[in-house]
Amino acid sequence: MPHVVTEKCLGERYAHCAEVCPVEAFRPGTHNGEPLMVIDPEVCIDCGACLPECPIGAIVGSVDENPEWAKTNAELAPKFKDNPKAEKRPGNDPPRKPGNQLVK
């Protein structure tokens, strides 16, 4: 049961998560013309380290919490695999999307 990046990340991509993942499960890319990060479900070991790192709380701890986006993560991860690392945004950079809020 891997962790899942949700739709909140689309257009945001703070990229703090990727820095703490011990197995490099994060894959950055562009989806529908917007920046995104996804988790490769084949690589994630469910350690939980990334979950509190996202400034807007875009990660959930199980597929059951967002099955639709779990599918999106699984579909996009192989496509994003060879993309260069995403640049990290400052944690206090205001969210770009309406409805997103800083949670830490």
Q: Least distance in Å: CB of 6 to ligand SF4? A: 13
Q: DSSP strand E in 1-104: where?
A: 4-5, 26-31, 34-39, 59-60
DSSP state letters, 91-104: TTSPPSSTT-----
- And the tokens for 89? 């945004």
Q: Least distance in Å: CB of 98 to ligand SF4? A: 27
Q: Which is nearer to ligand SF4, 10 or 26 (CB)?
A: 26
Q: Least distance in Å: CB of 58 to ligand SF4? A: 12
Neighbouring CB atoms inside 10 A of 28's CB total: 18
- Of residues 39-78, those binding ligand SF4 (CB under 6 A): 39, 44-50
Q: Which positions lie near ligand SF4, rule CB under 6 A?
A: 3, 20-21, 23, 25, 39, 44-50
